[in-house]
Every structure is written in C-alpha cells, then in structure tokens.
Amino acid sequence: MKNIEENFLLAKKQDRKGQKALYEMFSPKMLAIANSYVNNLHDAEDILLSAFMKCFTKIHECRDWKSFPFWLRKIIVNDAITFLRKNKNILYADVKIADDYSETDAEEYPKEINIEEIFSHMPVGYRLIFNLYVFEEKKHGEIAKILNISEGTSKSQLSKAKKWLAEFLKAKENETRTPETIKI
C-alpha cells in the first residue's frame, strides 16, 4: 500500500515515474473493467489510455491516495459508457419483466465459468445494465439517468440479462455433459 501512496503523491506532482508506476499497478484490472463493457480488447485499450490521460491531467481532483482506485474505476466506467454511446447502437427493448428466473437455478450450473466468455456473448444492452447494477452497484434510477433511459427499461434489461445468463449457463452445462453423466 505504501507504493500506491508514494506513487500517487509523485503523480500529483506530475512526476512521470509515479504516473508510470500507477499505470502499471492498475492497468490490468482497469483494462478488464473497460473490456467488460465494450467487449473488444482494442476498444478497451483505447478507453484505458484515454482514461489514464484524463486521470493524470485531473489527478489534483482526487484528494486521497486511498480513494484513487475507486476514482480511477469511475473514470474507466464513464469513459466506457461514453464510448458505447458514441460508437454502438444499443437497443433497449421495453417489454414485461421476466419473472421466470429462479435463484435455485444457479445450483445447476457448472462451478467453473469464464466471465469474459459470458460477456463476449451477452448483448450490449444487457451487459451494460448488468455491469452497472451488479459491479458498480448502481440503482435503477441512477442507471436510467446515466443512460438516458426509463427506470422500467433498466429493470427490464436487468431481468432479461439474468434470464439470458441463466440460459447461457444452462447451455454451457449441456455442452460439457458427456453421455455417461446425463441422468435418465
């Protein structure tokens, strides 16, 4: 932790070594976060670089080294959302919320899953709202304001994302089953 504090203070003084050290510490995780939104490594890399440039030009706005990782994450998420708004046609379908997803369904799925594979297949609108709700812990009202959609659309898309996730995992489980393991 002392390394983060030391490098943060150096970066606040526009010291290039401190900035480089912070970049090296946080870029892998922040790249994964950006990629979880845009689902394209090249775009995620562009977002990452742009976000770090913004971070280092506005680092004086971050008062404490302890809050730096959260502050940087917020920049990454906001830049990813901005990128999606500008470059992707995100379709949100306003339909009734699906209630047929059950928590007990989760017990049926395989224990090992690759989240990157899941997000690479999940539709953009579902992934965006799922990420904001689950990983960024935003409420539907906040999501609606961020994405300029209705709260109902946010709720509907989250519900559809959960249903989609359940179906995807069920399909993956069926792919991994061999004839000997299928119960009759």
> What is the spatial distance between Cα 41 and Cα 39, in angstroms, rounded to a whole number?
7
d(CA 117, CA 120): 5
How high is the pLDDT of residue 13? 94
| Phi, psi of 25, deg, nearest 5 | -70, -40
Q: Are 141 and 94 in contact (CB under 8 A)?
A: no
Give pLDDT, residue 50. 95
pLDDT tens for each residue of 89-139 = 555 544 443 444 444 444 444 456 677 788 888 888 899 999 999 888 999
User: Vertex 25, ends 23 and 30: CA angle to 5°?
Assistant: 70
pLDDT of residue 102: 43
pLDDT in tens, the chain (184 residues): 569 999 999 999 999 999 999 999 999 999 999 999 998 899 999 999 999 999 999 999 998 999 999 999 999 999 999 998 888 655 554 444 344 444 444 444 445 667 778 888 888 889 999 999 988 899 999 999 988 889 999 999 999 999 998 898 888 877 766 555 545 4
Burial pattern 80-116, b for ≥16 Cβ within 10 A else e, equals bbebbeeeeebebeeeeeeeebeeebeeeeeeeeeee
Q: Are 47 and 86 in contact (CB under 8 A)?
A: no
Torsion angle, alpha carbons of 18, 71, 42, 121, to 10? 150
Domains, in order of start, for the chain: 2-87 (1.10.1740.10), 103-181 (1.10.10.10)
